[in-house]
Amino acid sequence: MHAFTLIEMVLAIGVAAIALIAVNAVLFAALRLRDTTADTVNAALPLDQTVATIRRDLQCLVMPTNVTSGVLSGDFRVGELSSAGVTEPVAIEMFTTTGALNANTPWADIQRVTYELRLPTDRNAVGKDLIRSVVRNLLNMTTPDVEDQFMLSGVEDIKFTCFDGAQWQDTWDTTSQNSVNTNLPVAIRVDIQLSGNNNNNNNNSQPIEMFVPIDLQMRTNMVPATATGSGS
């Protein structure tokens, strides 16, 4: 009966060890790749959701009218401004038809939406938190009931810029009696600057930029009055 020699056993164990080392290296490389991919996807998901939500809010803007037409007529304001019920300065205030309709919310689909930056509760966190504040009950004559929705962390700055058809403007206010911007802008540019050490984007020297064209514009068939002579 033929038996294995000691040299054959040593060689077999050596080959098996090399094979196990190679399999172990491939396995742990695959695990590291899976974890890295999962972290990247999880970090990008809030940013993608934020961009999609902002785009949807802007695409569903309500046409503004003068301030005496009622609370459901809507308004549109851009710039560092205050909004009723919101403690922090907001970057934009708008009325948009993005409210969900169901049996538990007896409000219309028109809602007031603002976006603002707030200090995070975690003092060690980098940047600020981007908050979307929503008011559903627009008929409330007292302090509005504001629902704060967390959107994104690690934000350094967010800026809305409006295009009037000729140039970009940093401010826009359809509620001001002295403002010439009584209509919606032709397009809106959104710049989101993430913090330098934000894990959501390690290479974030450039802001995340988004352009949203606004198709809804106020039109009138009124003929402007012209000056005539003193005898008219």
Q: Which two tokens stand for residue 184?
A: 């919606």
pTM of the complete model: 0.71
Instruction: Find the radius of gyration of the CA atoms of the chain.
Output: 29
Per-residue pLDDT tens, the chain, 232 aa: give them.
567 787 878 888 888 889 889 888 888 888 888 777 776 666 668 888 999 999 999 999 988 865 444 556 678 999 999 998 999 999 999 999 998 888 887 888 899 999 999 999 888 888 999 999 999 888 877 888 899 999 999 999 999 999 999 999 999 998 876 666 678 999 999 999 998 754 444 444 678 999 999 987 665 544 444 444 444 4
